[in-house]
Amino acid sequence: MEASWKDNFVELDVNKPIWDRFYMVAPLVVIGTKETDGYDLAPKHMAMPLGWNNYFGFVCTPRHKTYHNAREYGAFTVSFPKPDQVVLASLAASPRNDKPGHKPILDNLKTLPAEVIDGVFLKNSYLYLECNLDRIIDGFGVNSLIIGEVVASYVDKDAVIKSDADDQQLLYQAPLLTYLPPGRFATIRETMAFPFPADFEK
């Protein structure tokens, strides 16, 4: 009897979340939002460009201040940390204290002011986005998709793609921080060109 392809797989129970049973590759970003008396920073990994135009989205939940801040003030920033900033990105997830709307750790994180919107970036990141809120889509269980239109963007000179430069050398010199949910991270330094088929178009 011929073996089934399923013999080499573990079937997961989809009546509960499956995402803690295997690793995936995800970005790690720090979302900045305006709060009543300051700003908040929060790490997110369910985040990505939405389409070819300048839209960016991330998953959040109404249980978090990031959701309510983005809705109230209509904007957010995105910082892409470098590999040596993984601890700083993690610390941005520290809990708040009894003072309303305050994360003590944020007093110790170095930030930069945004230029177009009222917001801040995590200093020394390699890519910054400033986004005006476009829409919030609720209903993914307890989660929501927060979508912004990018109105300003800045990339470190060492990380910008140049037509006359070697891509592998660029990534070796300016490696990327990658999150591997549920709970690991990696530095991407060694890469290879993707084998697109002939006449491939976006």
CA–CA distances in Å: residue 176 to residues 37, 63, 66, 116, 186:
33, 30, 24, 26, 8
Residues 6+ apart with CB under 8 A from 45: 26, 27, 28, 29, 179, 181
Q: Which residues pair with 93 in a beta bridge?
A: none
Alpha helices in 120-186 (DSSP H): 167-173
pLDDT in tens, the chain (202 residues): 678 888 999 999 999 999 999 999 999 999 999 998 889 999 999 999 999 999 999 999 999 999 999 999 999 999 999 999 999 898 887 777 655 556 777 777 899 999 999 999 999 999 999 999 999 999 999 999 999 999 999 999 999 999 888 999 999 999 999 999 999 999 999 999 889 898 888 7
Give the distance, in angstroms, between the CA of residue 161 and the centroid of all CA atoms in the same chain.
20
CA distance 177 to 189: 9
Domains observed in the chain: 25-156 (2.30.110.10)
Return the closest-CA partner of residue 35 out of 10, 3, 69, 74.
69
CA distance 77 to 40: 10
Predicted TM-score of the model (pTM):
0.92
CA distance 164 to 183: 37
The confidence score (pLDDT) of residue 125 equals 97
